[in-house]
Chain A
């Protein structure tokens, strides 16, 4: 049970941080500044181009020495990993909003920032919700990699119990069911949310 909570905690916190960082890099990519474009492209290329397990170990060996817990190493590793994918999700969803929307806001005297915040982003978030939900599910399952830096989340608990009792298959099956149930519950939640906010779409 404790492992379950830790898994959820790592996932939720890392996706939240990933969303904020991702949104920032999405703006970098959409910005007119060549330098910001370049920074975002390099960041996304590196994160997407290297395995998550390498990133987690990187954080573990880099940060653990500074007294940062393995929980935070795993969470931060996952957060940055998610952020690269989430940045692309947001970039796509923002670009998919008709530019007439921004123009309509501007023509009413709104600054670009205000029109972005009030008009474009709320619509972009709606469109981003399904792929974000997807990313959350991937993040949930990826959190099992935190076991490798001895975070006692679901997968780690399962393998430890398994080798202690020599019933590896049983525990693996149990942990698989745990993940499956979590994912199904979450899918249900996202579907509900989508239905709720789909009112008023064009």
Chain B
């Protein structure tokens, strides 16, 4: 296997909320163009791990390296880091007072200072890519959950991130809308985007993941290729977890 660049390296990451120790010495490495899927029960620390990576939550100890740069909140411009690490949320968090296109061009224009015409052009291309070219002037409240999430993906991509984090992107969706979001994500994976995905969609993990990571109680229990994890999990905990959801 060719040697690809390490995009994310997490070393002995620890994080607590008060008394609750949610991440315990977590180590993880994501190579460029890899799709890593994090699975595990609620409260196992998956989302927290994701949120630590773009510093929506501050780590307690350990090191986080993104694209070769060690990130320390007091020495690094976190706004710059976040421009390179896109994030898609469970509840979309679209800006309700802005149209679909305005949602997409907001950050490129306000943060990257890209000329508006250029941003609009790129924004339209992105909306076309996620299949929502005809919705650019619509407000988010008029969209279905699946459409909202696809706009959120386009909004994130508009910053041209090197890494995309997905925090349970389909958990808030009606079952019939899950497919459209997953297929957008699969397209993205095929294009070579480096992705870290927290999800309960095992079908997606099986199909699109290069690595599946199982977390339990703040620790990484097991990681491997989808076929290893799903067909022959080594740990009893992984077996139990898969038994409950498959």
Q: Which of B80, B83, B85, B141 lies in contact with A202, CB distance below 8 A?
A: B141
Q: Which 3 A-B pairs have the closest CB atoms?
A: A200-B139, A109-B83, A104-B93
**Is A126 on the interface with B (CB-CB < 8 A)?**
yes
**A85-108: which residues lie under 8 A (CB-CB) from chain B?**
98, 100-101, 103-108
B96 touches A200 (CB 8 A): yes
Known interface pairs A100-B91, A101-B95, A118-B106; A107-B140 also in contact (CB < 8 Å): no
B83, B91, B97, B98: the one within 8 Å of A108 (CB): B83
Report yes or no: B93 in contact with A114, Cβ–Cβ below 8 A.
no
- A51 contacts partner chain B, Cβ-Cβ < 8 Å: no
A sample of 16 inter-chain contacts (CB < 8 A) reads A101-B93, A103-B56, A103-B93, A104-B93, A104-B95, A104-B152, A105-B95, A106-B56, A107-B85, A108-B111, A109-B79, A110-B107, A114-B110, A122-B97, A199-B139, A200-B140
Q: Is B98 a contact of A200 with CB atoms below 8 Å?
A: yes
- 8 Å CB contact of A201 from B56, B80, B111, B141: B141
Interchain CB contact under 8 A, A107 and B87: yes
A107 near B56 with CB under 8 A, answer: yes
Name the one of A100, A122, A201 contacting B93, with C-beta atoms under 8 angstroms: A100
Q: Give Cα A64 to B246, complex, Å.
A: 79
Determine the chain B residues whose CB is within 8 A of the CB of A114 once the complex forms.
Answer: 110-111
Q: A122-B97, A200-B140, A202-B141 are in contact. Are A111 and B79 (CB under 8 A)?
A: yes
